[in-house]
A and B are shown apart, each in its own frame.
Chain A
Amino acid sequence: MPTLTSQANDEITPPLIIAGVDYESRLLVGTGKYRDFDQTRAAIEASGAEIVTVAIRRTNIGQQKDDPNLLDYLSPDKYTILPNTAGCYDVDSAVRTCRLARELLDGHDLVKLEVLGDRKTLYPNVLDTLKAAEILCRDGFKVMVYTTDDPLLAKRLEEIGCVAVMPLAAPIGSGLGIQNRYSIREIVETLKVPVIVDAGVGTASDASIAMELGCAAVLMNTAIAEARDPVRMARAMKHAVIGGREAFLAGRMPRRAYASASSPIDGTFFN
């Protein structure tokens, strides 16, 4: 019996496409803040994510031999590794970080650009973000860009060639959830490239809301890593993203001011 249903589902659940590559999962996850690499790997497996972000930092000279390496736990053969420019507060350091990452990953040129404004809010510095994005796009990078939820700026970032635009739901690591649904919705409706909510998700319902607004995907780290049980939360997020996406595709019922009975009014045996 499942044939008709599954055919219909295949037709209406197209994959996430970033820079010409298909992904089945619409959940992207970070790899920071976990207890150890075993927990990192377990949580990421449970999340079903195919794209995982990493940071680029100095090696510990002299501790190389026995130092475990993140990429031994998360193989670039299995996952799409998305290096970020976290911690960069200016154009130059962000661009250098991306170039080092490309060398590190054998020419893999998909990057998550973030140029931050200040340490208290970790808000994007949108002027420098724009400048860095222009340089990186010209240099052949496929740029997934972290930005504010400003619709006009999001459009500009698409126009200069970014392959995905990633507005924040709320400040990085805050877990406050989507603070401006109107802006996110507006960005989704205006852009052609995938719009991915990045940062600020706190729990499963936040991820579902992002997807119900029509976002192509959600990127998160702290919401999973700082949960009491990260592996379970990773699983919750996987389902939340799938549920939110399905709800968006299904099209929700209209909101009404008053009740509308679900059981027929006709045929009751009482008065």
Chain B
Amino acid sequence: MELILNGERRSLSMASTVAALVSELNLQGRFAIEVNGEIVTRSRYAERRLDAEDVIEIVRAIGGG
């Protein structure tokens, strides 16, 4: 399935849900996820299904002023 992940088109075989995506990408530490402009809270990772062409943003905190 092809997704737009942080601005790049990616083909991810197992990412049927946000939880599966997190697992496939092996994400660690603190991050937050938005799918098609809407926040997906951590408690909803397992139930939030992903479709081809979904636009996903995964962000973290970095140094800034």
Q: Which residues of A contact B (CB under 8 A)?
A: 30-34, 40, 53-59, 61-62, 64-65, 69-72, 81, 83-84, 86, 96, 99-101, 103-105, 172-173, 199, 220-222
Contact = CB atoms under 8 A, between A and B. Distances in A.
B4 interface: no
Nearest to A36: B63
Contact of B39 (A30, A103, A105): A103
B14 interface: no
Contacts of B25: 61-62, 64
B64 A103 contact: no
8 contacts: A31-B63, A62-B25, A70-B60, A71-B29, A81-B61, A83-B61, A101-B61, A103-B41
B57 interface: yes
A58 B55 CA distance: 13
A31 B39 contact: no
B50 interface: no
Nearest to A34: B63
A81 B7 CA distance: 27
Contacts of B61: 54-56, 69-71, 81, 83, 101, 104-105
Contact of A61 (B5, B30, B41, B64): B5
